[in-house]
Structure 1
Amino acid sequence: MRGIMKFIVALLIAAVSLVTYWCNRQENEFTGEMQHVDMTVEQEIALGLQAAPKMASQYGGLHSDEQAVAKVKEVGQRIVGNTNVGDTPYQFDFHLLADEQTVNAFALPGGQIFITAGLLRRLSTEGQLAGVLGHEIGHVVGRHSAQQLAKAKLTQGLTGAAAIATYDPDNPATQTGAIAAAMIGKLMNMRYGREDELESDRLAVRLTGKSGYDPRAMIEVMRILEEASGGARGPEFTQTHPNPGNRVAEIERAIQQEYPNGLPSGLMQ
């Protein structure tokens, strides 16, 4: 009887998770894609503004170099102002973090975008900076945070149901099934993350080109990231980001699709 009840409870949890996920479906007005999201745009903006100070503090706070800070904001706002990103309800702001060692950039929901001084000092052109910021803008308008939350809740519910169905407190060996279910859920969410990264690369090609920057600068950014990693990467399926070499191929394809007749002249490197 206990086994039957566990199975019924697991089925109910899985069913609720699936129904909730599939019912939270909206069209992304920027990309035109149908997405499963778990928050409104207003909630994304509020969440990003709330999290920004804490995230900045983890990287030593904001940088004191006014000139460098101004350049980051200038390039970011140029992309926003010269593309239809400016027509979205997101409140974009661009921040330079004081951390000189970490090579990173990230976007919070709603438009708060950060780049570390450690990454900025490795970039040699304004176009490369535009590529980094354009990629992070892509995460925001792609609503990747809201999408990830919905997917994480789905996999958490399904793996939780699997753990309930397989775990027997009188049989320690069944713990292996619960652990395996949790690991599968984690790997599934990592895959979602890699797909988001590639979509942001494609969006960055469009955004940088329309803003007067040469999108090929993003290829150089990938080489910079690969060098910064020191080649110390495990198998791609265990990484939250695609390997830089794979991203280069995707960027080159996106450039070809966006500019089938070749890039226009006069773009900034």
Structure 2
Amino acid sequence: MRVRVSLLLGALLLASGSVHAFNLDLNKLIDIGKKTTDLKEVDEQGEAEIGNVSAAALLGAAPLVQNEKLQAYVNEVGLWLAMQTERPDLAWRFGVMDTDSVNAFAAPGGYVFITRGLLLRMRNEAELAGVLAHEIGHVLKRHHLVAIQKNAKSGLAANLLSMAVDNSSGGYGEWKKKAIGASTELYARGLDKEDEFEADRLGVVIAARAGYDPYGLPSVLQTLDGMNAQDGNLALLFKTHPAARQRLDLLDTAMAGSLDRYASQPVMKDRFEKIVGEYARKGK
């Protein structure tokens, strides 16, 4: 586990320096773009390639925090959660983005990111696990791929096809910019509300299965619900996600006491405070 975390961390830290660290194969991505209108034709390799573009877009907007200990910790928690799912063999990668914005993101193929702004508002590892498990749920259900499929005429698939023409005149650099821009548009628009609700339900189950108190995610939602809606660091989160109160109410209905027997599972506060607290004390 430790070796795998180290390798994944190394790849992510390289990627944070430049979007060029992702191997964006033009012909492969164009082929994926053609197939995206029929989601069943996108295999795991295709999913990973689309994830590369999406992750590049995210890290182009905000690089990873340059703290190896913090990144290794988040990867360790994330990988443990991912191992409890039906897709443990994906090339899962987790990272903390260097921004005060309060948010978390997932990309096809196993990419999961949480922002520094959200991480530093958490109180224990169960809360971290709940948020990571929510994002893992998006990957498991291929929510972003489905969103691309639904918006194929105006979304990433269509852009990939049109970029083939641009590339024929040697504009590979411009092609990459457009590919990343198309992916960024998806994150700015957000997923369907039902996708977010489904990821919430999956998140509490995955966290419980991994041995955490399943109320970690609801606890984070309570924190978000109590924050000032005018805070600029919440702007993108509130734009792309249902209201925290609505999510809490639906989770309460869905859980309906069924996970109460797991509420005695640990929240891992000490380990969280040791690593995240140390990072916070040292400053950004």
Band the TM-score falls in, shorter-chain normalisation: 0.5 to 0.7
Query: Alpha carbons of 1:231 and 1:81: their partners in 2 closer, same or farther (altered >3 Å)?
Result: same
Provide the residue aligned with 1:71 in structure 2.
73
The answer as to whether partners of 1:218 and 1:251 remain within 8 angstroms in 2 is no
Counterpart secondary structure, 1:115: strand
CA distance in 2, matches of 1:58, 1:254: 35
1:130 is the counterpart of 2:129 = yes
Once the two structures are superposed, what CA deviation does each residue of 1:63-119 show, in whole Å capped at 9, x if it has no partner? 122222122111101101233331xx52211011111x1111101111111111111
CA distance in 2, matches of 1:106, 1:97: 10
CA distance in 1, matches of 2:199, 2:145: 15
Q: Give the aligned residue type for 1:40.
A: D
Counterpart secondary structure, 1:96: strand
CA distance in 1, matches of 2:51, 2:217: 26
Once the two structures are superposed, what CA deviation does each residue of 1:172-213 show, in whole Å capped at 9, x if it has no partner? xxxxxxxxxxxxxxxxxx796211111100110110010011
1:263 is the counterpart of 2:261 = yes
Provide the residue aligned with 1:58 in structure 2.
61
Once the two structures are superposed, what CA deviation does each residue of 1:91-148 show, in whole Å capped at 9, x if it has no partner? 211011111x111110111111111111110011100000110000000011001110
Query: Alpha carbons of 1:267 and 1:77: their partners in 2 closer, same or farther (altered >3 Å)?
Result: same
Provide the residue aligned with 1:80 in structure 2.
82
Number of residue-to-residue matches in the alignment? 197
Provide the residue aligned with 1:254 in structure 2.
254
CA distance in 2, matches of 1:150, 1:194: 17
Provide the residue aligned with 1:24 in structure 2.
38
Query: Alpha carbons of 1:145 and 1:224: their partners in 2 closer, same or farther (altered >3 Å)?
Result: same
CA distance in 1, matches of 2:154, 2:200: 26
CA distance in 1, matches of 2:258, 2:110: 25
Provide the residue aligned with 1:112 in structure 2.
111
Query: Alpha carbons of 1:154 and 1:203: their partners in 2 closer, same or farther (altered >3 Å)?
Result: farther
Counterpart secondary structure, 2:95: strand
The answer as to whether partners of 1:103 and 1:228 remain within 8 angstroms in 2 is no
Counterpart secondary structure, 1:102: coil
Identify unmatched segments of 5+ residues in structure 1. Answer: 1-19, 27-37, 157-189
- 2:49 aligns with one of 30, 46, 51: 46
The answer as to whether partners of 2:95 and 2:112 remain within 8 angstroms in 1 is yes
Cα deviation for residue 214 of structure 1 reads 1.2
Q: Identity of counterpart residues, as a percentage?
A: 31
Q: Give the aligned residue type for 1:77.
A: L
CA distance in 2, matches of 1:258, 1:85: 24
RMSD: 3.1
Provide the residue aligned with 2:10 in structure 1.
none
The answer as to whether partners of 1:63 and 1:96 remain within 8 angstroms in 2 is yes
The answer as to whether partners of 2:97 and 2:114 remain within 8 angstroms in 1 is yes
1:92 is the counterpart of 2:92 = yes
Which structure has the greater CA radius of gyration? 1
Q: Give the aligned residue type for 1:24.
A: D
